Amino acid sequence: MTGGETIPIRESSDVIRVRAEVRRLAIGLGLGVVDQTKIVTAASELARNTLVYGGGGHAVLEVVEGKGRRGLRLSFEDHGPGILDIGQAMIDGYSSGRGLGLGLSGAKRLSSEFEITSVVGEGTRVVITRWN
Amino acid sequence: MDRIPILKLGSALLVTIQVDMHDRLAKALEDDITAKIMTTGAKGVLIDISGLDIVDSFMGRMLDTIASVGRMLDATTVVVGMRPPVAITLVELGLTLVGVKTALNVERGMALIGISVDDFEEVDRHDGG
Ligand SMILES: Nc1ncnc2c1ncn2[C@@H]1O[C@H](COP(=O)(O)OP(=O)(O)O)[C@@H](O)[C@H]1O
Ligand SMILES: [Mg+2]
């Protein structure tokens, strides 16, 4: 596992930076263009959630190794309001705002592994991994 | 804030997105296109996204909204040049963009709109084709 890179997410241009960095790492890892596109899209969704619902936070991007393969692990963390009902938030089409409600569920489908932890009043952390 | 230019091409509008857009820029583009449909009475809107290497749910919703508003104003919206990996990812994301017409390139998009085909026939005639 390499050190990892932390990107603050405070405004909508930071989401672009996350997309660009994830793309760069995915290319470096040797992911094909479809897999690159999937992981960048998932990252874009989660970074936007961190910004819009979490009130800002940061992303940690790292290259990880396991079982003889390498992957990209992306963590999105905020100290926002948290999610009361994670099951509901994961439903396709559910949005407490004016979104399409496809960010969390879609990011899960676009990743190899997906993990969400959220505590009301403390914040939210979503970790996704895409193995090569 | 930068804005993405909207060109008028006969009775159609042509928008070419060449940069990765942040959400505010995408929203501004949505507002600009719908305003321009009204002021120009355009019958078609071509949005060339061949320069985009991802479309996420925010941009997808923007395309959908432009198409819906356009429809109410009697303008057909065609999204052209979507890259295959983007299309594959959109489907997996759960976004099917059913209300949005798509075409492989601008010329086919023009044909789909139907109204500015004249302009192309003009060019063809000059070319002797
Ligand atoms: N970081 C977060 N902090 C608090 N709530 C969140 C966070 N991420 C997602 N949510 C909640 O989960 C819901 C679903 O998220 P998502 O699937 O991305 O859809 P959308 O962004 O379109 O609302 C959001 O509407 C919001 O209520
Ligand atoms: Mg979202």
CATH code of the domain containing B86: 3.30.750.24
Examine residue B1 and state whether it is found in any structural domain, yes or no: no
Please report the pLDDT score of residue A67 as a whole number: 85
Between the alpha carbon of residue A31 and those of residues A3, A37, A40, A55, A96, the distances in Å are 20, 9, 11, 31, 34
Q: Which two tokens stand for residue A131?
A: 């193995």
pLDDT band for B128, please (50, 70, 90 cuts).
very low
* Chain B residue nearest residue A23, CA to CA: B53
Angle between helix axes B84-93 and A33-52 (nearest 10 degrees) is 50
Percent of chain B with pLDDT over 90: 74
CB proximity A13 to B under 8 Å: yes
Q: Give the C-alpha separation, B15 to B29, whole Å.
A: 9
- Cα torsion for A73, A76, A77, A81, to the nearest 10°? -140
For the entire predicted model, the pTM comes to 0.93
CB-based contact A42:B59 (threshold 8 Å) = no
> Terminal CA-to-CA distance of chain B, rounded, Å?
44
Q: How far is the CA of A48 from the centre of ligand 2 (A)?
A: 6
Tell me whether residues B54 and A19 touch, CB distance under 8 A: yes
Q: Which domain range does residue B26 map to?
A: 6-128
Is B125 a residue whose pLDDT tops 70?
Answer: no
Task: State whether B92 and A45 contact (CB < 8 Å).
Answer: no
Mean pLDDT across the stretch B71-79?
95
Residues of B in contact with A110 (CB under 8 A): 89, 92-93
DSSP-H helix ranges across A1-132: 12-29, 33-52, 86-89, 103-109
Q: Looking at the predicted structure, is the pLDDT value of residue A2 above 80?
A: no
Q: Which residues surround ligand 2, an ion (CB under 5 A)?
A: A 49, 99, 103
Is any Cβ of chain B less than 8 angstroms from the Cβ of A99?
A: yes
CA A103/CA A92 separation, integer angstroms: 8
Reply yes or no on whether the pLDDT at B129 is more than 90. Answer: no
β-strands B76-80, B101-103: how paired? Answer: parallel
Q: Is pLDDT at B117 greater than 90 in this prediction?
A: no
Q: Which residue has the higher pLDDT, B128 or B33?
A: B33
User: What is the rounded average pLDDT of the residues A86-103?
Assistant: 96
The verdict on residue B59 lying in a domain is: yes
Domains, chain A: 4-131 (3.30.565.10)
Q: What is the mean pLDDT of residues B19-33?
A: 94
Look at residue B31 and tell me if it is in a domain: yes
Across the interface, whether the CB atoms of A110 and B93 are under 8 A apart is answered yes
Q: Looking at the domain assignment, is residue B17 inside a domain? A: yes
Q: How far is A17 from chain B (nearest CA, A)?
A: 10
How many structural domains are present in chain B? 1
pLDDT for A68 beyond 50: yes
Distance between CA atoms of B121 and A108, rounded to whole angstroms?
48
pLDDT (mean) for B20-45: 95
Tokens of A77: 């963390």
